[in-house]
Chain A
Amino acid sequence: MELTTIWFCLIAVLWIGYFVLEGFDFGVGMLLPVLARDDRERRVMINTIGPVWDGNEVWLLTAGGATFAAFPEWYATLFSGFYVPLFLILIALIVRGVAFEYRHQRPSATWAGWWDRAVIFGSYVPAFLWGVAFANIVRGVPIDADFEFTGTVLTLLNPFGLLGGLVTLSLFVTHGALFIALKTDGEIRGRARALALRVGVVAAVLAVVFLVWTQVLTGNVATAVIFVVAALALVGGLGAAYVGREGFAFAGTFFAIGLAVAGLFVGLFPDVMPSSTDVANSLTTTNASATPYTLKLMTIAAAVFTPLVVGYQAWTYWIFRKRISIHHIPAAH
């Protein structure tokens, strides 16, 4: 396999890792005002993702860094072209990250309330905007012969892009609700499962429409197979939630999100950012890539460190495997 193809796959893996992992902690953040009845329950929810959210977010940083190194032209066009959504995502991730660390530092309810708003805003905005961004990458955006994005922020707000945003948003809410059902005990656990079923049905409908639309736009046999399996995983996951098998249910949304993102990348290949202006201006794995020397070097680094990272992150989830309920929450400072 060519090095550029390997790196296309690796970057796909990093984004899949990011969405399946941070997807559920965005979901937990968005559900904060819905699932929790009081401060103690809100803290139960936040503590389910407490030890892991930051590690999940590093998947994004690595995806960004790897794109910079392996496909500099892609990184440059994407990040400068999607300036406004990325700025909003940054603001969201900043207030959200600080909120987790600062929320419990003062006993005041007003203080906690403001940080709750930061968590909610900071989870909704990226959950929606990442979907808009990826839908637009797949659909193609105006790019000129110098690989410069020539659209505006309104270019991105087309029906397909907005639908993509709603799909990631609703999938992450479902994913997060199932994570809460899996990681908590007590009343909130049952509430989370019931909510996952209700939102899950909406998410499934939206996702199927979006995937069929994507299939029409960029599809081939492989994407069709992947999308069908993704849809089956989602339906299977909801079925498992219905019969109370929370582990299988969470695995269902985990694989559904991962496969859907994988399918988007398969449909994209060999483009990395198609141009809607002129096919000749499309960024591809070859014309956007770094040199073979850099790719080879990075391949070695990735081959050594990626299994290590997956290993110790998995170990972390194992260490914090116990369910949390309200009597586990100590008093605030």
Chain B
Amino acid sequence: MADVDSVLELARWQFGIVTVYHFLFVPLTVGLTMLVAVLETIWLRTKNPEWLRLTKFFAKLFLINFALGVVTGIVQEFQFGMTWSDYSRFVGDVFGAPLAIEALLAFFLESTFLGLWIFGWDKLPRALHNACMWIVHLGTLASSWFILAANSWMQHPVGYTFNEITGRAELTDFWAVMVNKVQLGTFPHVILAAYLTSAAFMLGILGWLYMRRPGENNADRPMHRRGMVLAAWVMLFSGVGVAVSGDIQGKIMTEVQPMKMAAAEALWETSDSCAPFSILTIGTRDGKHEKWALEVPCVLSFVATGTFDGKVEGIYDLQERYRETYGSTPGATYYSPGDYTPNIPVTYWTFRWMMGLGAVGSLIGLAVLWLTRKGRTPSGWVGRALPALAISAPVMVLLGNSMGWIFTEMGRQPWVVFGVLTTAQGVSPGVAPWEVWMSLIGFTLLYAVLAVIEVGLLMKYVKKGPDPFVEPPSPTLRGSDSDADEPMNFAY
């Protein structure tokens, strides 16, 4: 940290920490609402007790994660006003609307119907109970839509005018914000990544349960296996979808934020055709003088433009172009005046880690499935390594999600709203450094403690595996008084 008394630096660290932490839970729980709803639907259709056991098992793991996702989400909404008040004043007319509609339309739906689902086993007819989880899932999708539309507007502001008198951005076309082309690429990418994350979670955990005691004759193995196959299909489809949507996103990004594409590749000089895609570089910190690089010819041109001989602009040329367009003042607070280059080592490596972790995590998941096909249990070192490897799959995909967001937010710097408002201009002018120090340390410590507690709980329940089958009640909406004194089917 350059300056211990810089509210800007502190606020950026705080935003980064609480947002990355929040987004560990978001994709996992968005995806798990879908998987739990699917598992319950399959149980209702097949009446096979195994599916209900899996439903309850993954619902429990889901709720442990969801609790943290919900409470860390409140911080997200408040901190725009707390540490980024000038940003809030500037964008409120545009950015506030999707946020408010998200709360009204999605948060109420999620929280209310999840409460009904958790406590409703002995109150709601079975089909209605299952419908509640589907409604929760729809709520998470709606929520993602609005919050990603708000973020996409920061990447590529559309449907607004700048009011010279008030100095604020004003919404002119809500529909344009909703169907922003960045949003149309981002939404499928993020949602499919959420499905991928939750499926890797399910496959990893069931794979671990399947293989942890190879010698034992475990009666639950067919159930683990069935769940793994379901998860693997979800992984396969969503994994391909993540790659395809990511590719589309890359091309849109090249068009609307060319500097971010150049920063992703640390491409300093413009490449007129057949730009190589760098897989790894060993070089100096600023990436300018690489010592050794592993490159694939022409692939960057394809990633950025869709043709193998497309021209990709480099950082030096873009810097000049941005300077002509935006002048030299923006970014002057924590960048030198006229500097429009993001932190290249961060963008370069997060871009690679995003793709690498996502891909390797998915491949591990599928490898686990292949190695255990037809009741097989690999022996030797493969057999010993496999349980740990299975668990590593969701961890990698989760970290891949974080890398993607760090890349896309850091790659936009020095802007907070691209081309319109710099991050330095958005910070709260009236907040004292000690206040942000206090909240930065407070949130970080609390989040760390909660992470340890939550991982401990997850491990407890994963080790235990799915509970034995108990026939759940089959209530009608009218309820009956005969069971009034029965213990609750679920209680806190």
Q: Which residues of A are at the interface with B, using a C-beta cutoff of 8 A?
A: 43, 46-47, 50-52, 54-55, 57-58, 60-62, 64-66, 68-73, 75-81, 83-84, 86-87, 90-91, 93-95, 97-98, 100-106, 146-150, 290-291, 293-294, 297-298, 301-302, 305-306, 309, 312-313, 316, 319-320, 322, 324, 327-330
CB distance from B89 to the nearest CB of A (A): 5
Query: Does chain A have a CB within 8 A of B172?
Result: yes
Nearest residue (CB) in A for B484 is A322
Q: Which residues of the other chain, B, contact A148 by a CB distance below 8 angstroms?
A: 429-430
Check if B100 sits within 8 Å of A329, measured CB to CB.
no
Check if B119 sits within 8 Å of A68, measured CB to CB.
no
CB distance from A293 to the nearest CB of B (A): 6
Nearest residue (CB) in B for A48 is B492
Q: List 8 A-B contacts (CB under 8 A).
A: A55-B108, A60-B74, A66-B104, A72-B88, A81-B430, A87-B435, A91-B443, A301-B101
Shortest 10 CB-CB distances between A and B: which pairs?
A: A72-B92, A79-B81, A69-B96, A101-B67, A80-B85, A65-B100, A68-B96, A51-B115, A76-B85, A62-B103
Q: Which residues of the other chain, B, contact A328 by a CB distance below 8 angstroms?
A: 485-488, 491
Known: A46-B492, A58-B107, A316-B112. A291 touches B74 (CB 8 A): no
Known: A83-B82, A305-B105. A294 touches B74 (CB 8 A): no
Query: Does chain A have a CB within 8 A of B170?
Result: yes
Check if A50 sits within 8 Å of B112, measured CB to CB.
no
Nearest residue (CB) in A for B119 is A51
CB distance from B470 to the nearest CB of A (A): 11
Query: Does chain A have a CB within 8 A of B313?
Result: no
Q: How far is the CA of A90 from the CA of B135 in the complex (A)?
A: 28
CB distance from B313 to the nearest CB of A (A): 36
Q: Which of B100, B119, B435 has a CB less than 8 Å from the CB of A83? A: B435
Query: Does chain A have a CB within 8 A of B347?
Result: no
Query: Does chain A have a CB within 8 A of B63?
Result: yes
Q: Which residues of the other chain, A, contact B101 by a CB distance below 8 angstroms?
A: 65, 298, 301, 305
Check if B64 sits within 8 Å of A102, measured CB to CB.
yes
Query: Does chain A have a CB within 8 A of B420?
Result: no
Q: Which residues of the other chain, B, contact A103 by a CB distance below 8 angstroms?
A: 492
Query: Does chain A have a CB within 8 A of B293?
Result: no
Q: Could you tell me which residues of chain B, from 58 to 83, have a CB within 8 Å of some CB in chain A?
A: 63-64, 66-68, 70-75, 77-78, 80-83
Check if B96 sits within 8 Å of A72, measured CB to CB.
yes
Check if B492 sits within 8 Å of A65, measured CB to CB.
no
Known: A50-B119, A94-B446, A330-B491. A87 touches B430 (CB 8 A): no
Q: Which of B81, B115, B174 has a CB less than 8 Å from the CB of A316? A: B115
Check if A86 sits within 8 Å of B78, measured CB to CB.
yes
Known: A51-B119, A65-B77, A72-B89. A105 touches B457 (CB 8 A): yes
Query: Does chain A have a CB within 8 A of B428?
Result: yes
Check if A80 sits within 8 Å of B77, measured CB to CB.
no
Q: Encode contact with A along B448-492: 1 for CB under 8 Å, 0 otherwise.
A: 001001100100100000000000000000010000111111111
Check if A327 sits within 8 Å of B485, measured CB to CB.
yes
B63, B92, B114, B170 — which one has the most chain A CB atoms within 10 A of its CB?
B92
The number of A-B residue pairs with CB atoms under 8 Å apart is 246
A100, A147, A312 — which one has the most chain B CB atoms within 10 A of its CB?
A312
Q: Which of B104, B111, B119, B479 has a CB less than 8 Å from the CB of A65? A: B104
Q: Could you tell me which residues of chain B, from 377 to 398, have a CB within 8 Å of some CB in chain A?
A: none
**Total count of chain B residues near the partner, CB < 8 A:** 79
Check if B81 sits within 8 Å of A90, measured CB to CB.
no
Q: How far is the CA of A95 from the CA of B457 in the complex (A)?
A: 16
Q: Which residues of the other chain, B, contact A94 by a CB distance below 8 angstroms?
A: 71-72, 74-75, 446, 450
Query: Does chain A have a CB within 8 A of B219?
Result: no
Check if B64 sits within 8 Å of A47, measured CB to CB.
no
Q: How far is the CA of A103 from the CA of B105 in the complex (A)?
A: 29
Query: Does chain A have a CB within 8 A of B131?
Result: no
Q: Which of A79, A305, A316 has a CB less than 8 Å from the CB of B116? A: A316
Query: Does chain A have a CB within 8 A of B265?
Result: no
Check if B492 sits within 8 Å of A62, measured CB to CB.
no
Check if B435 sits within 8 Å of A84, measured CB to CB.
yes
Nearest residue (CB) in B for A53 is B115
Check if B82 sits within 8 Å of A86, measured CB to CB.
yes
Nearest residue (CB) in A for B430 is A148
Check if A54 sits within 8 Å of B77, measured CB to CB.
no
Check if B89 sits within 8 Å of A73, measured CB to CB.
yes
Check if B71 sits within 8 Å of A97, measured CB to CB.
yes
Q: How far is the CA of A100 from the CA of B492 in the complex (A)?
A: 7
Supply 7 further A-B pairs (C-beta < 8 A) apart from A90-B78, A297-B174. Answer: A43-B492, A50-B491, A51-B120, A62-B100, A65-B103, A79-B80, A313-B108
Q: How far is the CA of A306 from the CA of B100 in the complex (A)?
A: 12
Check if A319 sits within 8 Å of B123, measured CB to CB.
yes
Check if A80 sits within 8 Å of B428, measured CB to CB.
yes
Q: Which residues of the other chain, A, contact B71 by a CB distance below 8 angstroms?
A: 93-94, 97-98
Q: How far is the CA of A99 from the CA of B254 in the complex (A)?
A: 45
Q: Which residues of the other chain, B, contact A83 by a CB distance below 8 angstroms?
A: 82, 428, 431, 435, 439
Q: How far is the CA of A102 from the CA of B124 in the complex (A)?
A: 24
Q: How far is the CA of A128 from the CA of B25 in the complex (A)?
A: 30
CB distance from B443 to the nearest CB of A (A): 8
Check if A78 sits within 8 Å of B81, measured CB to CB.
yes
Check if B67 sits within 8 Å of A102, measured CB to CB.
yes
Q: Which of B111, B431, B442 has a CB less than 8 Å from the CB of A80? A: B431
Q: Which of B81, B83, B88, B111 has a CB less than 8 Å from the CB of A58? A: B111
Check if B111 sits within 8 Å of A55, measured CB to CB.
yes
Check if A69 sits within 8 Å of B92, measured CB to CB.
yes
Check if B81 sits within 8 Å of A76, measured CB to CB.
yes
Check if A301 sits within 8 Å of B105, measured CB to CB.
yes
Q: Which of B77, B171, B439 has a CB less than 8 Å from the CB of A61? A: B77
Q: Which of B96, B108, B123 has a CB less than 8 Å from the CB of A290? A: B96
Query: Does chain A have a CB within 8 A of B280?
Result: no
Check if A98 sits within 8 Å of B442, measured CB to CB.
no
Q: Which of A70, A105, A149 has a CB less than 8 Å from the CB of B64? A: A105
CB distance from B55 to the nearest CB of A (A): 17
Q: Which residues of the other chain, B, contact A52 by a CB distance below 8 angstroms?
A: 115
